[in-house]
Amino acid sequence: MSLLLSVKSDVTINGNLNINKTTFYYKGLSAGDMLKCGDKIKGDSINIFMAVRGFGGYTFNLSLIGSKKTVSVYQWSDYPQFDDNYSYELVNKKYKLVINKNIFKPGDTLKAKFYVVTEKNKFSNQMKFKREIFHIIGGNLFSWSGSNYSKNPIYRNGFPLPKKEADSL
């Protein structure tokens, strides 16, 4: 038997978004935690992810494939507490996304506001996530602390560049 669940979603394009930092909020998040925001590019797909460093928490994911935009939230841990898995995708009940462009390419600046409400599940209560994203597309990883940010220089296309080892002979 198959059951089709409908997610109430609202995606709006607004080229005049006035956003200049990345912020993330959900109940239980400690103030001052360092936020990581990065992207991975594969073909015409761009995945933007945002999470707070730690031993467990939530990751917000925005998938851009051409003009299609999909929002997802994962709960994660440093040990396999979700039926022997390290992460679990939460089921969205509804979400609202306001984004500055319809289609993105490397070098573009993504500005977005989001609000996501998830369903209650066996691992967590219903959760609400909101805030803003300011991100330069291109395999970048930024660390945000309040309004201050730093770009990790070793990331290219979402993955660290391999270190070249010198021949020891």
In angstroms, the CA 146 to CA 70 distance is 26
The pLDDT score that the predictor gives to residue 68 is 92
Which residues on neighbouring strands pair with residue 144, listed in sequence order? 35, 149
In this prediction, the residues of the chain whose per-residue pLDDT falls under 50 are 1-4
pLDDT in tens, 97-122: 999 999 998 889 999 999 999 999 99
The domain limits of the chain are 12-155
3-state secondary structure of 106: coil
Instruction: Select from 138, 129, 131, 83 the least CA-distant residue to 107.
Output: 138
Phi, psi of 94 (to 5 degrees): -160, 155
The pLDDT score that the predictor gives to residue 111 is 94
In angstroms, the CA 81 to CA 20 distance is 36
